[in-house]
Structure 1
Amino acid sequence: MHDSAPLRSAGTAGPRAARHGDSLLRRMGRGAARPFRPPEDVLAPISLGRELQRPVTTGRRVVVSRPQGWAAESTVTALLAFAFAHYRYDRVLALDLGPGNSGLGPRLGVGEPVAPGLSGAAIESDSFDDVAQCLAAVTDGLWVLPGLQREIAEGRLDAGAYHGSVLPLTRFFGLTVIDRAADASDGLNRAAQASAHAHVLVVPSTREGAASIGRAFDWMNANGAESLPSRIVVVFTEQSRRQDAAFDYRASAAILRQSGAEVFRLGFDRHLAEGTRIDPARISAATHAAATRIAAECLRRSL
């Protein structure tokens, strides 16, 4: 059934097949146990899929960032983009506003710009067929606006250009997922954050990661933004097995939820750890389930 099927794969396989997120033994065990799964294990993914298909009257924008330090925000952005594109019937757009080299493009299987991006002559057209010529297609229903890192590096993409050229593009899409990288305070990043209907904060599954979220929420309370956590989804990511053995995820999540935010954990995944193009058919079952739940929560909060 469409609602419970794996996320669609993007692109074609490379010379070496990427590793599966789950081991062969685990995949075989899950297949053998499938006929004996309790009904709720089958109905829950179907219910989430239906939530992700909820219609929107205007395009929703989800911004993904990290409070500080290195975190897998590009990985989370790509997983959300794949999840939205898989379940929804309208279009999904992915944007990478992170400084420096693009982290999102390689995760989506998009290398050097294969389309003109903002420099395209048809970017301001009222016809999606014209605008599509400026975009790079990832899968059915999922597009990327390429070349934004070059625009940022050359100083041609600031808050004004974002409002004038990038933001109007989102009207063609049901969901736009924006990789904002570091939670910086420059004009472009402030404009992206202000335009968001939901905000995802990505941190490592460590004590310092939890502390950084706590400091961010304290800053919001001190600066009159105490209502912002109601639009925030926190995602703790594991870059290695048992990344911080002393980290108490459940206690940290309970504290953060008191602010109004929702909290999820994205466990270690062998496929994601390769750092290359994400093949949704090869991520672990736990990653697939977590990405679907995070996407559904982002959509709920954006509405």
Structure 2
Amino acid sequence: MPSGNHVPPPETSTPTGAPSWLTGDAAAWAAPGAPPTPAPPPTAATAPEVPAEQPVPNGFPEQLVAGAGPGSQPVRPAPEPAETAAAFWNTDTAAELGGQDVPVAGFSDGGAFADVVRPKLAAPTHGWRAAVYAMTAGRWNPGLSEAELRLKEQVRRITTPLSGPFSVAVGSIKGGVGKTTCTCALGLAMAEYRGDRVIAIDANPDAGTLGDRLVGEAQAGKRTVRDLLRDLDQVRTSTQLSGYTHLAGRLRVLTSEQTPELSEMFSERDYERVLRLLSIYHELLLTDCGTGLVHSAMQGTLRHADSLVVVGAPTKDGASRAARTLQWLATHQDDQGRFPYRDLVRDAVVVLSCDRQSRYVDDTVIRDYFASRVRAVVELPADPHLATGDIIDLDALAPATRDAVLELAAVVADGFQSRTHGLASHGFRTDHADRQAGMR
């Protein structure tokens, strides 16, 4: 009998036979002998109780019994059988189901997390943005400047991949317009940013100055293309080949013979033999051509070129000679009556070297003329460092000149994927296995 003055409520029967104060889940957790909790007084808004005979569907805890009113008690779902859950995750169970992957609704293969990491701005390296970034220890990053974004895009283009050796010929029928300077700057830029091997070749039969502008006159004459031709059949590895070339930064350089009598002997066949060997160990080959379009070595250079750079100037004579160069190439016929260089001209790049410039010349007319006939036109500004005629250093160039050099390299690299002839079409060793065999 209960002690004290506590009087239990009267026993009233329910549809289940349980007291009215033990309804819903209360009977499941009430401890034996514990005093019962009085039920709240009924109100008009209280919904009728659900008969125990009505089946209770499984569902989330917030789900109400089907057919119950808004005041019904939530029903906790029955636990999912362990063997059912295992079928989603256990590979043994999946194998029993026919060896097929069992799809799990609501789950993906990880693609949903592709954007989970917030983008991080690149750290600026120049100007006030770099100063602010350093002063705040990186807590405030104003982002890259327009110049830095331009450099980033230029580097992306310069690093366009190559599927095999690629030959670029740099030439003009007029001397003194900066053809060798352009070759040097282009080669240095390509070698600085690309991960593959780049080499510049001096094919000028008139004692060219490519070596002078890259490694210095004294060093350039120690090993020349004539030495390589003499020992060509003995070169079997890249290490042996490096003994005949020079290094300017990351750019390899093959200089020409400085004795006029011997340099004149550099023929089309000699150039082709050298090019065939160099293409085994290098991906990008830049050739500084002479001024004679009908010279034997020049014919070999053009025949194996994948891309052409013609150098002129924003002056009347400099522009007309560059135009004459392109016109001769576009209209030249071979022995079969074909025009072998028309595609080369259509995809050519014209460089206007602004060392010679006059305010009396409308350079807009010159740019528009070439832009309508070739793939791209690049202006190379006058620069005090280039005007000295000494060894070229990209870091010593004025910002505008360096930007123009990188733009030239990017424009040339834009044509890497549009090869129409050149080394690959003439049976040069472009197969990966052959190249690896040659490098051993």
Specify the TM-score bucket, using the shorter chain as the normaliser. 0.7 to 0.9
- Going from structure 1 to structure 2, the CA distance change for 1:142 and 1:219 (only over 3 Å counts) comes to closer
1:212 to partner: Cα distance: 2.3
From 352, 365, 376, give the equivalent of 1:236: 352
The reply to whether residue 131 of structure 1 matches residue 245 of structure 2 is no
Show the counterpart of 2:180: 74
Separation (CA, whole Å) in 1 of partners of 2:206 and 2:328: 27
Separation (CA, whole Å) in 2 of partners of 1:209 and 1:34: 42
Segments of structure 2 that go 5 or more residues without pairing to the other structure are: 1-122, 132-141, 333-338, 418-440
Separation (CA, whole Å) in 2 of partners of 1:5 and 1:53: 21
The reply to whether residue 144 of structure 1 matches residue 253 of structure 2 is yes
- Going from structure 1 to structure 2, the CA distance change for 1:234 and 1:183 (only over 3 Å counts) comes to farther
1:261 to partner: Cα distance: 3.0
Letter in 2 for 1:213: A
Show the counterpart of 2:305: 196
Identify the structure with the greater helix proportion.
Answer: 1
Over residues 84-110 of structure 1, what are the superposed CA-to-partner deviations in whole Å (9 max), with x where a residue is unaligned? 110011111111111333321111123
1:168 to partner: Cα distance: 2.1
Separation (CA, whole Å) in 1 of partners of 2:342 and 2:198: 30
Show the counterpart of 1:41: 147
Segments of structure 1 that go 5 or more residues without pairing to the other structure are: 7-29
- DSSP-derived class of the 1:276 partner: coil
Show the counterpart of 2:189: 83
% identical equivalent positions? 22
- Going from structure 1 to structure 2, the CA distance change for 1:64 and 1:116 (only over 3 Å counts) comes to closer
Cα contact 1:123–1:130 (8 A) shared by 2: no
- TM-score, normalization by structure 1: 0.80
- Going from structure 1 to structure 2, the CA distance change for 1:122 and 1:186 (only over 3 Å counts) comes to closer
- Going from structure 1 to structure 2, the CA distance change for 1:147 and 1:73 (only over 3 Å counts) comes to closer
Query: Size of the alignment, in residue pairs?
Result: 275
* Higher RCO (C-alpha under 8 Å, 6+ residues apart): 1
1:272 to partner: Cα distance: 0.6
- TM-score, normalization by structure 2: 0.57
RMSD (Å), alpha carbons: 2.9
| Higher-Rg member (1/2) | 2
Show the counterpart of 1:157: 266
- Going from structure 1 to structure 2, the CA distance change for 1:61 and 1:148 (only over 3 Å counts) comes to farther
- DSSP-derived class of the 2:311 partner: strand
Separation (CA, whole Å) in 2 of partners of 1:152 and 1:91: 31
Over residues 25-67 of structure 1, what are the superposed CA-to-partner deviations in whole Å (9 max), with x where a residue is unaligned? xxxxx85687689743222211111221122121111111123
1:217 to partner: Cα distance: 3.5
- Going from structure 1 to structure 2, the CA distance change for 1:238 and 1:159 (only over 3 Å counts) comes to same
- Going from structure 1 to structure 2, the CA distance change for 1:89 and 1:173 (only over 3 Å counts) comes to same
Identify the structure with the greater strand proportion.
Answer: 1
- DSSP-derived class of the 1:205 partner: coil
Show the counterpart of 1:17: none
From 44, 56, 60, give the equivalent of 2:162: 56
Over residues 111-133 of structure 1, what are the superposed CA-to-partner deviations in whole Å (9 max), with x where a residue is unaligned? 24333644257644331111111
1:218 to partner: Cα distance: 3.5
